Amino acid sequence: MSDPALWTALADPHRRAIVALLLERPRPVGEIVEACGLSQPSTSKHLKVLREAGLVRVRQEAQRRVYALDPAPIARLDAWLAPYRELWNRSLDALGSRLDETAPDTPEDPAPKD
């Protein structure tokens, strides 16, 4: 995963918020502006960065531009993260095993009182 444009695009919290919005469904620019609370020019600049990184696609619908996520870069990012996720899973499994080994034996809970 050596695409610096993808990392740069995702480094900004406003762009991550836009990506999260587009995860739900494609949206026209006006909805993105309203949901993010940014100005239209600022939102357009963020969308341009996302588009240039390949994270979003745009289609024209009459006078509106509708943006949608492109899943391919996210899939590349997921593939890059897979070994790290496995490392965390092994570490957490080892921690869980160690905690199980060191936990004091506790008696069964008594039956609930009526």
**Which range among 11-15, 53-57, 96-100, 109-113 shows the weakest confidence by mean pLDDT?**
109-113
Q: Which pLDDT tens digit goes with each residue over 19-61?
A: 999 999 999 999 999 999 999 999 999 999 999 999 999 999 9
pLDDT for position 2: 53
Whole-prediction pTM value?
0.72
CA distance 50 to 10: 8
In degrees, rounded to 5, the angle at the alpha carbon of residue 17 between the alpha carbons of residues 16 and 21 is: 115
CA distance 100 to 70: 43
pLDDT for position 1: 44
Average pLDDT of the chain to the nearest whole number:
88
pLDDT for position 107: 61
